[in-house]
Amino acid sequence: MKRIVIVGGGVAGKTLSSALEENRNLEVILVEPKEYLEAPFAQLRALVEPKTFSPLIRRKFSQLIPQVKHIKKKAIGIKEKKLLLEDGLALDFDFLVISTGSKFPNWAYLKSSEINMKARQKEVVYEANKLKNANSIIIIGGGSVGVELAGEIAYHWNDKRITLVNAGSRILGGLDEKTSRHAVKLLEAIGVKILNNTILTEKEGKWVDAKGNLFESDLVYQAIGMSIDSDWINEDSGITKTEKGFIKVDNTFRVIGRNDIFAIGDIADIPEIKLGAFALKHAHLMEKNINSLIINPDAKLKTYKPRKTISMIPIGKKKGAVQLVFGHPHFLIAIKQKDLFASKIL
């Protein structure tokens, strides 16, 4: 029986674990410190609806993948064909799949380190109460997270002063101009003030722009600074990373230089926007390749073609900005608004 070890229980890791758990020719082990999976694309709605919506966006791995052995430890390195864990433990593997994803060091709420599900819910309620009691809010970052956060807050509270501060010339700079203009229209309609070409820095607990102008607010959210969670991978692991921490892979997700290690999800050096929907596709292709390798170690693996940029960004609870390959059918945001796609992974 072959053993596959999956590091990271996010969208990609959980989906692959679930797809492989019934394979009797394979021992599947998930290494993930948390006891639960939280839908990452539903966390901002949870912040404004902590008691009703928040409990619906996470479930324990013991319920989601009951046949998979779940080791609640942190991975700290790789040595030959062993995954090194905290407390001096090590796991042998035939195949290793890395899916530790990304993190937001500037805003811990988005990538919480809380391992207990009930404690995480308490953490959300605590953060939500701070937001509820704030009269003025500054959101730094005009990407999808900042835009969605501004929309959620403004939709739920029309009396809060919300300022979205963006370093670039337009919000949603990674998407096309039509999507950006539509998002501006929706945000301004619910009272969000947008400041482009503005960079704020914190000095002695206060936020100022390049000219030294002071920006005062009850709350400041830094919706910027996403980084890749690959710091734990040691230099002698045989894994090559880019300057930004992405793992270099070929078009089968096999790590360059290692025949027995793969990387999927945000952490893989695939030239496409990082989306949960694409992480799902990575996991399903990885399942097919793992199954092929079990039968034949020299099997020809299926290849992945990077997806073109798409996006569905809720702005408030009813509207949003949609960019698909074929156009901008903004009305389709209604599909996502039902549960923000949490049910697709839970």
Mean pLDDT for 53-76 is: 98
Over the stretch 107-128, which tens digit does the pLDDT of each residue have? 999 999 999 999 999 999 999 9
pLDDT at 170 over 90: yes
| 280 in the same domain as 196 | no
Q: Does residue 147 sit in the same domain as residue 211?
A: yes
Is 156 among the domain residues?
A: yes
Residue 281 lies in domain: 2-33+72-104+226-295
**57 in a domain, yes or no?**
no
Boundary (domain end) residue, out of 295, 324, 341: 295
Q: Are 77 and 215 contained in the same domain?
A: no
Q: Tell me: the pLDDT tens digits for 194-205?
A: 999 999 999 988
What is the pLDDT, as a whole number, of residue 205?
A: 87
54 domain residue, yes or no: no
Does residue 332 belong to any structural domain of this protein?
no
In this structure, are 213 and 249 located in the same domain? Answer: no
Percentage of the chain surpassing pLDDT 70?
Answer: 100
CATH number of domain containing 76: 3.50.50.60
Do 94 and 239 lie in a common domain?
yes
6 and 147 fall within a common domain: no
How confident is the model over 255-269, as a mean pLDDT? Answer: 97
User: Do 84 and 90 touch, CB atoms closer than 8 A?
Assistant: yes
147 plus 99 within the same structural domain: no
Largest CA distance in the chain: 65
Give CA–CA dist 11/13, Å, rounded: 6
| 318: in domain | no
Single residue among 225, 245, 278 that ends a domain in this structure: 225
Residue where a domain stops, chosen among 275, 295, 315: 295
3-state SS of the chain is CEEEEEECCCHHHHHHHHHHCCCCCEEEEEECCCCEEECHHHHHHHHHCCCCCHHHHEEEHHHHCCCCEEECCCEEEEECCEEEEHHHCEEECCEEEECCCEECCCCCCCCCCCCCHHHHHHHHHHHHHHHHCCCEEEEECCCHHHHHHHHHHHHHCCCCEEEEECCCCCCCCCCCHHHHHHHHHHHHHCCEEEECCCCCEEECCEEECCCCCEECCCEEEECCCCEECCCCCCHHHCCCECCCCCECECCCCEECCCCCEEECHHHECCCCCCCHHHHHHHHHHHHHHHHHHHHCCCCCCCCCCCCCCCEEEEECCCEEEEEECCECCHHHHHHHHCCCCHHHCC
**Tens-place pLDDT, residues 213-237:** 999 999 999 999 999 999 999 999 9
- State if pTM tops 0.85: yes
Same domain? 151 vs 240: no
Q: Does residue 137 share a domain with residue 175?
A: yes
Tokens of 260: 């027995």
The structural domain count of the chain equals 2
CA distance 27 to 3: 5
Question: What count of Cα atoms within 13 Å lies in the side-chain half-sphere of residue 243?
Answer: 0
Q: Is residue 50 part of a domain?
A: no
pLDDT score of 331 more than 90: yes
Question: Do both 96 and 171 map to the same domain?
Answer: no
What is the per-residue pLDDT across 271-316, written as a single tens digit (0 to 9) for each? Answer: 999 999 999 999 999 999 999 999 999 999 999 999 999 999 999 9
Same domain? For 139 and 220 the reply is: yes
The upper half-sphere exposure of residue 164, i.e. CA atoms within 13 Å in the direction of its Cβ, equals 30
